Amino acid sequence: MDIGRRAFLLGHRPQQREFPLRPPWAENETDFRRDCKRCGNCIAACPTGLLVQGSGGFPEADFSRGHCTFCADCAHACTSAATQNTAARQQTALSFSPTLPAWPLVAAIGAACLPRRGVLCRSCGEYCEANAIRFSLRPGHPAQPDIDTSLCTGCGECVAICPAHAVSIQHGDPLPPLPAAPPP
């Protein structure tokens, strides 16, 4: 079914429809939906449990269940046309192939973040292997997390570890950091 019709039938206005987070290397939503057989091979192959069966049977990334190690097991398990390297497919963007960048996802830290509410916590930064989450000191307040989007891989390891469920993975740039605290 066409994405526009599906969104319409679900009561969504197409321009407001946010696509679910797909497995890594699923670059184009339209091509991915066209090519994916919904067989579940990628879900079964994921060693961390990140991939789940989502809406319409298509695989989705659920960062509350796991994170991505970028092992490419999901892409290698895929038997659909999305990963077939035929000459015709090589001339267009593959929709599920580890030859592409994994995804344009980054972590974002919301208002429920404990340090932003005055409570000491550094869980997300301690689990960030890419060192993309760093903490800035603020006089009289706990150190505040900042995300360096140039280092963030969007792996999601920081999501499940957050005790306040304040970290999410999203497309593009995360929300800007909080402004500096006013002088006391």
Domain boundaries, the chain: 3-90, 105-171
Q: Is the pTM of this model over 0.75?
A: no
On whether the 3-90 domain is CATH 3.40.50.2000, my answer is no
Domain 105-171: CATH class, spelled out: alpha beta
Which tens digit of pLDDT belongs to each residue from 29-75?
A: 888 888 889 999 999 999 999 999 998 999 999 999 999 999 999 98
In 3-state terms, what secondary structure has residue 178?
coil
Query: Dihedrals φ, ψ of 54, to 5°?
Result: -105, -155
Min mean pLDDT across 19-23, 89-93, 104-108, 168-172 is at 89-93
Percent of the chain exceeding pLDDT 70 equals 73
Which tens digit of pLDDT belongs to each residue from 150-167?
A: 999 999 999 999 999 999
Q: Span 107-119, mean pLDDT?
A: 95
- Distance of CA 134 to CAs 102, 124, 142, 162, Å? 23, 9, 13, 15
pLDDT at position 80 is: 74
Helices (H), the chain: 3-9, 29-35, 41-45, 73-77, 87-90, 123-127, 157-161
Percent of the chain exceeding pLDDT 90 equals 52
